Structure 1
Amino acid sequence: MGSRRLKRHTGFLFQVAWLRVDTQTILTIANHVITKNHRIGVTHSEHKTWLLHIRDVRENDRGNYMCQINTDPMKSQIGYLEVVVPPDILDYPTSTDMVVREGSNVSLRCEATGSPTPNITWRREDGELIILGNSQEVASIEGRAFNITKVNRLQMGAYLCIASNGVPPTVSKRIMLVVHFTPMIWIQNQLVGAQEGQQMTLECHSEAFPKSINYWTRENVIIANGEKYEPSFSDNVYKVHMKLMIRSVAMSDYGSYKCISKNSLGETDGSIKLYHIPTPTTEPTTTSTMPIPTTVDLVENIQWSRQKPVPSLEPGSNEITDASLSTVVRSEETRSRSRPNQEENHEAENVIDTNSHKSIDDDVGQRRIDNTAQSMSSTSSTWRCVTRSSAVICIIVLSALS
């Protein structure tokens, strides 16, 4: 409700009148309402303050109003009534939901009334940025018209036309932009390997609108959900994530699979090949055991490992001279060469480190042989005989005499 207050000191004989200036219409005189507009009223306070009342103010009540006193000369005062109107979006000139083909040009319009004149702002309902034709992204667009050149699927969605002029409430209208396009499929891994018995999941991604029918095939046969296979599909607007789980891969499962997407505009498919990965086997560790040399080998190697003994100045009857020691060695070499070929091959495989002083166990009764012939000042001979392989081999053991 609007009102206009006018203060005047008047005598009893003077009267106050209210007029509409633009139409020269008399509204009230003194306490009487002249106009037939039932929304107009007048009050006063001790004939000094006169008030014009307008109920249910409308936009057409905007304008200049005059308070007039019938003095001579006449006295008056003019006041302007501003009527503000909240915004309102007009349905007819404003765009409605649109369905367009991908690649076409789109023009969205929004018309609104209000006082003052409303401002128009475009935003996406989901809060995402608006993609323009030049690959720019903005949060909002100002203006009654919103043009898109060569619209694509990323621009599909609900747009809000928002009208505001500072007078609450702000109003908006939702316009749904639908973009149709043929199905597209892309596959991250087109070649997938699996072992027998392994659980494997194949994946495809498709985009299509209108929404597509999606399924998996193998050898042109649609794969249904069962004990062996479990196809699944999850969609978001125009995107579909296709999965095919193979619970336990068998030899018969290797080969090519197809994911297919189909809608009213077309059909496309993608191929994934599942190949066999051999199951790794654990190979037994091979332990090489060095054969124990025969007694003859021991004798021969022991003799070759001895250093040349220091000859005594007065050899006794029991001393072993260089000549006698060489004779024993040569006799053992001759006996060794006279063996069959099998024993020669066996001897070739036996490797004894003659430079290390290792213990000779098992066949020689865990006896240690000390190769320190250089330190002996006198020696005596002792015969030890060992029976092996039906042959009697005698080993000369040199013992130091005190």
Structure 2
Amino acid sequence: MTRIVLIGTAAASTLQFRADLIRALCLNNYEVYVFSSEYTSEELKHIEALGAIPKTYLLNRSGINPIADFRSIYTLSKKIKEINPDLVLSYFSKPVIFGSLAAKIAKVPKVIGMLEGLGYTFTIQRKGDDKKTQFIKKIQILLYKIALPQLDKLIFLNPDDPKDLLERHQIAVKQVEVLGGIGLNLSDYDYSNHYPENSVFIFVARLLAEKGIHDYIAAAKIVKDSYPNSKFIVLGAIDKQARGALTKLELKQLVDNRIIEHPGHVDNVAQWIAKSSIFVLPSYYREGVPRSTQEAMAIGRAVITTNVPGCRETVVDGVNGFLVEKWNPQALADKMIYFIENPEQVALMGYESYKIAQEKFDADKVNKRLLTILEL
């Protein structure tokens, strides 16, 4: 039986983003081992319920201690060697670097990595990078130059990332593939063509500057000056550690002044999207292909998002929504107002989103493409 090792970070993330892939591999009678560095016993049981064999390992996601990191590589390589897999697939930045090196040390016949966006260190900030981010980026590029040439294949989700990482920094990789979005189990997202009487815009993301929360709020204020009955929903948690994130006090003031509605933590995000008119994500973060936007499209919602890598893969401008410049609340507000003044476009563009989601973001189709890339 062909043995496959998947190496990620948090087990919760694996369950959220890799469950369909794990099921697909197990249904094809592959023996699947899933490595997690952050986990609970309950999460490991859920991985096992998918048909895979859960394994754990040590990896400090944010640390830059080279001694600890190389110790982790060596320990992980021993665990991989005990399994003796035919293929190792690592995903997310640090597992791609350290998991791939560990797999090579363990002499795995085929080693493949998948980078789902370039992340925070490659995100262009409005005020420029601080010295710590610049330093981390230099270290990350150095590690990529060591690890990525060892891969048999490197998979990206969008076509901009290989240009901005590999070409710009002259990193040689044997073979590059672009997958597109990692996909959704579309049965979890019911299409809805029922829309509220007054326009309801919804933002779903952590309340980070780079996810566009400040631009969303600024646009909401502009729109409300002319259309006070329009509503602006925000679903997402505050990140107290992130530079420029929305603060608890700012959030309270916005809610008290009725600029936005923030229902707090919710488990039924899809239902909130279904009760909205338009999905808005003015992100400038280096996304792979944002999952929240895919979810909104599967439900049948038009999208306003930024013309930046990853986000632009979800919208055909003027067909299922609009692409706007990053850091431009007025442009964002103008497109919001377009939908308010042309309410028939809400349903028309929403249906186009639904069709695109069916074609591009169906996990069954995506996983078949991925299995082809993995040569399984």
For normalisation by structure 1, the TM-score amounts to 0.18
State the structure with more CA Rg: 1
The structure that is strand-richer by fraction is: 1
The structure that is helix-richer by fraction is: 2
